[in-house]
Chains A and B, each alone.
Chain A
Amino acid sequence: MNAQNVGKINFVGALITLATIFAAILWAFPIYWGIISSLKPEDEVVRPYIELWPDTLTFQHYWFALTQTQIGRWYINSIGTAVGVTFLTVTTSMFAGYAISQLNFPFRRTLYWIILASFMVPTQVLIINHFVLIANLGLLNTWAGIILPQLIHPVIIIIYKQFFDQVPKDFREAAVMDNAGEFRILFKVYMPLNWGVTTAVSIVTFIWSWNAFLWPFLAVTKTELMTITVGITQVNDAFGVYYARQLSAAVLAGFPVALAYLLFQRKVTEAITLSAGIKG
């Protein structure tokens, strides 16, 4: 490689770096703007020009959200439903993935194709069916009503199936020769080899569920049962819209997810890569 080529590569590399930084700023700016606006007095928020830093820094909107709304209750609802959705989704997907990957039973292949085909049906299309079904079951305005329709995540079943497919056949055969039943093979042999996947899909499912808005919005009408994503729509009063107040509630709603992402960044990226690989 001669000096001319090195120069060319460095120039291209610098351009790519600049473009990446610009894209990052473009992407991050709304978040910055939202956080900064939530720290401004209401009259500063509605000024017709851009101020990148507040004249007066205030936490009054956060104080309002934390003391004058049911945000604590919404947090609990969100945590409860997200944990429930995560636990049930991951558990059922793990069993389904194992069965499709490792067990022989009638219509196994057909079942797999049905699960694959369900990718093509957007959740929104099923919303009305879900609503009627949950209403008929008398589960509207309950945690169960919020949780049940969110358990449909075919991608996690496929992720598990793929990982179980990759476990060498000898391990299963050795365990079978050692008198191990299917539950013991799953939990003592297959799952320990796939804890990384389970961690990754659990985090991502938790984030999906925490951020879910449409279904919890339809399934719950009582303020005390709302999840935080739905609850923040309630942070207003009869005298109009308070942007800073609503933004502070939105920041509080997004905070746990942002924290989870920062703490488990590598795992989340891994899970997104896994699901993207399957979807693609």
Chain B
Amino acid sequence: MSEISLKNVSKSYGAVTVIDNLSLDINDGELMVFLGPSGSGKSTLLRMIAGLETIDAGSLFIGGKPCHDLAPGQRDVAMVFQNYALYPHMTVRENMEFGLKNIKLSHQEIDERVTNAARILEMDKLLDRRPSQLSGGQRQRVAIGRAIVKKPAAFLFDEPLSNLDAALRVRTRVELSQLHQTVKSTMIYVTHDQTEAMTLGERIVILNECKIEQIGTPMEIYTSPRTLFVAGFIGSPSMNIFSVDLTQANDTLQATLPDGTQIAIDMDVPAGARYDLGIRPESVLISPTAADCTGVVKVVERLGDRTLVYVELKDGSQLIAQDAGSSTVVVGDTVHLALDKTKIHLFDQNGINVLHR
């Protein structure tokens, strides 16, 4: 069993709090992604689990064992660093053997583990090379191999793909996903890239300003963001957000968009208050006939399978809509927009999704 549990952990640097009373449970064998913008505390949290940063308050359990006071090497976790941290003066084999020699495993055991890891990662022929003789992708594999040979309870990845080019990143992402299925170990993966988070993570922890905004599966987070921050952070392009007033009219709750458009809201929330209304671009469609609102096309982005249309409403506010890949819409067109009311999110003045209150 290698579940990881953080109970009320905090971390400060002087007067600056970077992790504030955070609790989190990661299941055995789960691939959990920490996602957040720069400075959100995701890397610090990972380093606290690794033991590279001390935990000021709270507890950490790995496989049920209290670990917050243990040295990094005794926590039974392996870390893959952003810059790989391969020792340049050692060959690939020596890099992989280094940790095993430190714990004084037998030569035979070391040899077996290195050979096995090299086979899994398809780098048998690279074992006698030095890191400087490897490509970025190969170095990445060696860094992962160095972690695998330790057979740790959990793997910690600190933005491991950020130094790779776009094509290699996609390929390595798939390989990491396959690796997780092969080794079936608990993995924590830190990234600021939402695509990586959505494609790799079984669950995602969204961090912002030292706190957890939401924990959930990628689809839960996408379809039901708990906070305004999550709604804006997840999804590309971002969710359309408007500040609206809710009014009651003839048993119907109406939201008024900045351009005056009235939209019926089918939610059980009190009227007379101000909310932020969010709707994803794919829920705003170009309609051939008059629909919820009308605007002038300012920008068209053709992505092949779909077209993103940036529409300026009457009051000057902007709404991003989605049309088919074969869309004939061009800049300057006046278009009708139909909003899918079932996909509307309302956030209260504290930025909390009313469905999560």
Contacts and interface: CB of A to CB of B under 8 A. Distances in A.
A178 B99 contact: yes
Contacts of A76: none
B73 interface: yes
B117 interface: no
Interface in B63-120: 71-74, 77-79, 81-85, 87-89, 98-99, 102-103
B134 interface: no
A173 interface: yes
A179 B79 CA distance: 12
Contacts of A184: 102
A128 interface: no
Contacts of B150: 178
Contacts of B85: 168, 170-171, 173-174
Given A177-B52, A188-B98, A168 B72 contact: no
Nearest to B73: A179
A7 to B, nearest CB: 45
Of all A-B residue pairs in the complex, the 8 with the closest CB atoms, nearest first, are A178-B99, A179-B73, A170-B85, A174-B85, A179-B102, A192-B89, A170-B81, A180-B102
A176 B102 contact: no
B102 A193 contact: no
A174 B81 contact: yes
A174 B50 CA distance: 11
B98 A176 contact: no
Contact of B88 (A177, A178, A193): A193
A175 interface: yes
A189 interface: yes
Interface of B: 50-52, 71-74, 77-79, 81-85, 87-89, 98-99, 102-103, 146, 150
A177 B87 contact: no
B346 to A, nearest CB: 44
Binding site secondary structure of chain A: helix
Contacts of A189: 87
Contacts of B98: 175, 178, 180, 188
A181 to B, nearest CB: 8
A177 B98 CA distance: 11
Interface string A182-210: 00100011001100000000000000000
Nearest to B98: A178
Contacts of A188: 98
A117 B209 CA distance: 43
6 contacts: A173-B85, A176-B52, A176-B71, A177-B77, A178-B150, A180-B98
A169 B85 CA distance: 9
Given A168-B83, A184-B102, A177 B89 contact: no
A176 B72 contact: yes
Interface string A154-180: 000000000000001011011111111
Contacts of A178: 73, 98-99, 102, 146, 150
A241 B51 CA distance: 72
Nearest to A179: B73
User: Which range holds the interface residue count of chain A?
Assistant: 10 to 19
B87 A176 contact: no
Contacts of A174: 79, 81, 85, 87, 146
A192 B279 CA distance: 57
Contacts of B84: 170
Contacts of B82: 170
Interface centre among A175, A178, A181 (most CB of B within 10 A): A178
Contacts of A193: 88-89
Contacts of B99: 177-180
Nearest to A170: B85
A188 to B, nearest CB: 7
Nearest to B84: A170
A178 B96 CA distance: 10
A66 to B, nearest CB: 44
Given A173-B72, A177-B99, 9 more contacts: A174-B81, A174-B87, A178-B99, A178-B102, A178-B146, A179-B103, A180-B73, A193-B88, A193-B89
A171 B87 contact: yes
B239 to A, nearest CB: 36
A170 B146 CA distance: 14
A173 B72 CA distance: 9
B41 to A, nearest CB: 18
Nearest to B94: A188
Nearest to A195: B89
A174 B158 CA distance: 12
A177 B51 CA distance: 8
Contacts of B79: 173-174, 177
B73 A177 contact: yes
A174 B77 CA distance: 11
B136 to A, nearest CB: 15
A266 B85 CA distance: 30
Interface centre among A170, A173, A174, A181 (most CB of B within 10 A): A174
Contacts of B51: 176-177
A189 B86 CA distance: 10
Nearest to B47: A173
Given A170-B81, A184-B102, A188-B98, A176 B89 contact: no
A179 B72 CA distance: 7
A166 to B, nearest CB: 13
A173 B89 contact: no
A175 B98 CA distance: 8
Given A184-B102, A189-B87, A176 B73 contact: yes
A250 to B, nearest CB: 42
Nearest to B80: A174
Contacts of A175: 98
A176 B88 CA distance: 17
Contacts of A177: 50-52, 72-73, 77-79, 99
